[in-house]
Amino acid sequence: MNAVAVVLILNLLRVNVLLGLVIGAISSVLTGGLSLIDTITSFTHGLGAVASIALSYALFGGFAVVSSKNGNSRASCDKHT
What ranges make up the beta strands (E) of the chain? none
13-47 residue pLDDT tens: 988 888 888 888 888 877 888 887 887 787 778 77
Whether pTM exceeds 0.85: no
